[in-house]
Every structure is written in C-alpha cells, then in structure tokens.
Amino acid sequence: MSKRIFITGFGIITSIGKNAFESLDSLLKERSGFGSLDILQTAHHHTIPACEIKLEDNDLHALAGVQPHMGFTRAASLGIIAAKEAIASANLSKKEIQNSALISATSAGGIRELEKYYYQLKDNTQKGAFEEFVDTGNPGEHTERMAEYFGVKKQIGTISTACSSSANAIMLGAQLIKNNRVDRAICGGAEALSKFTINGFNALMILDPQHCRPFDASRKGLNLGEGAAYIVLESEEAMLESKREPLAELLGYANANDAFHVTASSPEGMGAYEAMRGALASGKVDPDQVGYINAHGTATENNDLSEGLAMQKLFGKNMPMFSSTKPYTGHTLAAAGSVEAAFCLMSMKESFIFPNLNFKIAMDELNIRPEVTLQAKKNLKYVLSNSFGFGGNTSSLLFGSV
C-alpha cells in the first residue's frame, strides 16, 4: 500500500486547444474558449454562451481516427483524442496498454446523441443510422468504446460523481496500482456539451450570460465547457523498469462528502476542507509547503464562498497562490478534475501559475485573493488541485515535483 505513483504522460483537448501544446499556448496568452454556441443546436444558441470546441463531430472522428457512422459519440471521440496523446506522451507499448486499467469519467455520457435522435429511436417502425446510438445513454458506454479502441484488457471502469468525477477516476487508478491490481492506469474524463446540461444548469439559475468571474464579488454563475483529459499513472517499479522519466508524482489524494445539499456545498466548506486536509495528510505534506492551488472556482455564489472559507481555514496566514482556470475552458463538469490536473502538470513543468481571469473585486467574506497575472519562474514543489461535485462530493489531488 506504500507504493509511490508517478505520472508519465498526459493528453488534453478543450475549447482552448486540441492538445497539450495548444492548451499551454492559450494559457500563457490568456486566450479563453468563451463564446457563442455554434456547434450544438439549441434554442439557447444566442442567449447562453459557453466554452465550446469549434469542431463538428466528423472533425473529431477524424482526429480520433474513428470512422463516422460507427456509433462513436462526441464524448467518446474527445476521450480517444486526449487518451491517444496521453499514451503517446508516456510512450506506452501495445502490451503495456493492454495490461493497463482504463478509468474514465463522464456526467452525461452520450446523451447528446440521444437528444438528436430521440424521436427516431422511440419509434419502433423507423430504422436508420441513428440506431448506432441506442446504447449511448449509458455513461459507461464511452469507456467501453475507448477500451475497445485502445485494446485495454486488464480492467476498465467508469466514474460519475458529477464535477469531481475525473479526479475520483485518478484516485481509483492510484488505488488499483497501490493494491497491486495493475502496474499502470490511464485515468481521466470526457464531457460533451448537450441540451441536457445546458437546460439543467439554466434551470438551476447558475449560468452567467457573461464571461464567468471566479472569486469575484460580482460573480453570477458559471460558463459550461466541453473537453477531455487523461493522465498515465505508473507504479515506481513499472516506471523504473520502463526507464521512463516522470512528469510528477501523485503524492496524495482524498475524497469527502459534506452531504449538505443535492446541488450545493455546505456554506462553511466542510467537504472542501476535509478533502484538502486529507490529500495533504495522505501525502505527508504540511499546508505551508503548498505552492499553488488550482481551485475548483466555478464562479457560482455558493462554491466560491464555500471553497474560499475552506482554504482560509486550512492554510490560515500561509495561504498559497491560487487561481481558477475555468474562465479559460468553462466548467467541463466530469472532465474538470483531469483537465485541471493537466494544467497543474503544465504549471509544474513550465514554472508558471496561470491567472484567474476576470477577477476585479474581492469578496467581502474572504481575506484572500486569486492570482490575476501570469506568474513566471515559480518553482512549484507541491501543487493541490480541487474538484467539487454536486451532492457535496469533494476531491483534492496533491502533486509533487520530481
């Protein structure tokens, strides 16, 4: 159970880039994916902006290397694109891939395709190409598609715990390695924008028609986004045998649940506090050693206050630099944990802290402020990444430099 776990590769696709290189360039140039909905067909096309990947489904199929009309959903294609980059980044062999675990996360799965073909699928007298999407409402369908595509044989699993999903996928992959179930795991999440998510969050009245402003006193809600990211975890023994150079070490992690409300965190941030405290304790790192926190920072009134109070309570006067990167990509829901884990890896590798865009006015309830300018030449030894989901499902990941 004391095995050390290292990260040897990662891949990402969001509204700010089709890969890690493009994503880093956007982060450094403070280029956001925020804008109108041009690909998803919705009645809210002109009224609800989001961070949408400006590629049609067939373009994503081509990037993923899959054939159209074979039942690959937008979420599955995004997952394959990001996982392909992660696998190439780690230079995994075919045998290593087969013997890896694939743990993937999603909230809505292939519901986007079900929405499109709902009436045809409901009519038993109709037949057509839409039948390939009949099973895509199952969140695990995209994982099975990815496993088949890559030839993963050892173990596959799907996590769906709302916005903490892909952070929990990374945690599950680490636990499989620690318990000698696998030597390596490909972990992350994929999420595509859909009418279901747009309408659902709109009904909750937590969408901002303007560009979101995490931790700002004027914040009015989040912007939705889509994307995917995966990281390759390896045991120390497997990494040494393969002679790979690690990007970072997954030092600690924790999940907590404050069980306060079905869609809101506890006002005092107990779940967030316990997740961060637990991650640091499992990694044997003191709060004053943390150099940066990639905050969950959704720009909703409840989350930012809850998370801010939790950070103040845990770190006190030794508050590390922190920022939310959601103004770049929007809130990618189940994929947020792995997307922001990838950003943390970029921060550590490139020695940058990416700014919290759009912050201007400090919250009266907090005495802390996020970083608002790009911070360069930061030697980050320990970085914390927060992902908090509906129902109070809160998770934190602790990364260490190597």
Q: Smallest Cα–Cα separation from 372: which of 386, 358, 355?
A: 355
Residue from 61, 142, 296, 344 carrying the catalytic annotation: 296
Phi/psi at 15 (5° precision): -70, -15
**Catalytic residue check, 296:** yes
**Residue 104 three-state SS:** strand
192: tokens are: 């595509």
Q: Which residues of 183-206 are buried (b: 16+ CB within 10 A; e: fewer)?
A: bbbbbbbbbbbbbebbebbeeeeb
- On whether the CB atoms of residues 397 and 384 are closer than 8 A, the answer is yes
Residue from 51, 187, 331, 344 carrying the catalytic annotation: 331
Residue from 51, 163, 187, 344 carrying the catalytic annotation: 163
In one-letter notation, the amino acid at residue 335 is: A
Give the pairing type, strands 248-257 and 321-323: unpaired
The DSSP secondary structure of 43-99, one letter per residue, reads: TTTTT--EE-----HHHHHHHHT--TTS---HHHHHHHHHHHHHHHHHT--HHHHHT
Q: Smallest Cα–Cα separation from 229: which of 78, 386, 366, 37?
A: 78
**Residue 105 three-state SS:** strand
80: tokens are: 């394959």
**Catalytic residue check, 51:** no
The secondary structure of the chain in percent helix, strand, coil, rounded to multiples of 5, reads 40, 20, 40
Q: Smallest Cα–Cα separation from 81: which of 94, 96, 66, 103?
A: 66
How distant is the alpha carbon of residue 8 from its chain centre? 18
| Catalytic residue ranges | 163, 296, 331
